[in-house]
Amino acid sequence: MRRFLRMAFLAAPVLASATALASISAGAAGGNTDHSAATSPTPSVVQDDYAAAKNLIDRERYRDAIPILEWLVAKNPADTDALNELGYSHRELGHEQRALNYYLQALAIQPEHVGANEYLGELYLTMKDLPKAEERLAVLQKACGNCEEFSELKEKIADYRAKQQS
């Protein structure tokens, strides 16, 4: 029984991904005749797909998460959380410019999005742009004070400076 539950738990995100991709394919192929459903997914569908994408990201399956996140953004271009996770996934895959574009899109919509500011600051450190990383830190301090995202970026900036001095 435990083995079955474990397999079911591991398979759930894959099935959710497949379901999301199948619905995208069906819509693209003209298989869905209810156009209102194709353009306006219910909040529960969006939450389920976002949760599936986050689960994949948590397991470092960025390539699998990206199509789901792209679908969410196609349905709602103002979804700053999906844009942020797209940026994160691309950054983890080494696609710096794509990551940068997604973070900037999220921040154009919601300038104080703490996740996008933190991750963009980390990307700037990867790109060796300390002043821009410090700008993101200042935005985080103003947006959330001493929140986890602020503390994490502050620590990464300190580590970056220490490496530069050694």
pLDDT tens per residue, range 16-70:
444 444 444 333 333 332 333 445 567 777 789 999 999 999 999 999 999 999 9
Domain with CATH 1.25.40.10 in the chain: 77-166
pLDDT for 12 beyond 50: no
Pairwise pLDDT comparison (46 vs 115), residue with the higher score = 115
How much is the pLDDT for 31? 34
Q: What is the mean pLDDT of the chain?
A: 83
pLDDT for 125 beyond 90: yes
pLDDT (tens digit, 9 = 90+) per residue, 59-90? Answer: 999 999 999 999 999 999 999 999 999 999 99
> 52-89 in b/e burial notation, b at 16+ Cβ within 10 A?
bbbbbbeeebbebbbebbebbbebeeebbbbbbbbbbb
Pick from 111, 76, 108, 106: which is nearest to 89 by CA? 106
Residue partners of 32: CB distance under 8 A and separation at least 6: 23, 26, 38
The Cα–Cα gap between 87 and 56 comes to: 14
- Tell me, what DSSP letter sits at residue 60? T
How much is the pLDDT for 41? 63
3.40.80.10, 3.40.50.450, 1.25.40.10, 3.40.50.720: CATH of 77-166: 1.25.40.10
